Structure 1
Amino acid sequence: MTGNQIQGLIGMTATLGILVLLVLPSALGILRERRIDRQIRKAQEAHGEKEAQKSSSRSTVPSTATWYAEGRRSKKLVSS
């Protein structure tokens, strides 16, 4: 190998090394996020199975109309 080829090889290796250093943190972050997503999905599925066993057919969350009506009632009570 000549001196020019060695310099080219060193330059290419340095460039690839810098590229790896720049890409590595984001690649590790993506892997970590995917692992966390899997854990959340697994926990939601387990929670959903528990809820399916004990829940009734009616929803316990009040509707928007109920919240609006309660807000209007409380304003009337305060103002009177």
Structure 2
Amino acid sequence: MTGNQMEALIGMLVTFGLLVLMVLPSAIGIVRERRIDRQLREAREDRREGERPRPTQKSSDRSTVPSTATWYAEGRRSKKLVSS
């Protein structure tokens, strides 16, 4: 090999090395994203397999305690009735 051929070979290797360094983070990111997607898909499938049909909730099962908003509204209504 002559000196010119050696310089050309070294130049091509350096260029190829820089290209690999530029592409490597993207390739690692793609592999990582695919792994996460696969894990999410498997978890979703496992959840679907483990699901049982839930019984419908009857109105008698619900709590009969009024919420804070209801208490507040009741107090406001009574004040309006008293003042008018």
Does the pair score TM above 0.5?
yes
- Between the aligned residues of both structures, percent identity stands at 59
Equivalent pairs, count: 63
Distance in 2 of aligned mates of 1:54 and 1:24:
47
**2:70 maps to what in 1?**
none
TM-score by length of 2: 0.63
Whose Rg is larger?
2
Q: Deviations over 1:10-41 (max 9, x none)?
A: 00000000000000000000000000000000
Name segments (4+ residues, structure 1) moved above 6 Å.
none
AA aligned to 1:5 is Q
Q: Which runs of 5+ in 1 are unaligned?
A: 59-76
The 5 A counterparts of 1:25-64 are 25-51=25-51, 53-55=52-54
SS for the counterpart of 1:18 is: helix
SS for the counterpart of 1:9 is: helix
Distance in 2 of aligned mates of 1:55 and 1:44:
18
Give the aligned CA root-mean-square deviation in angstroms: 2.3
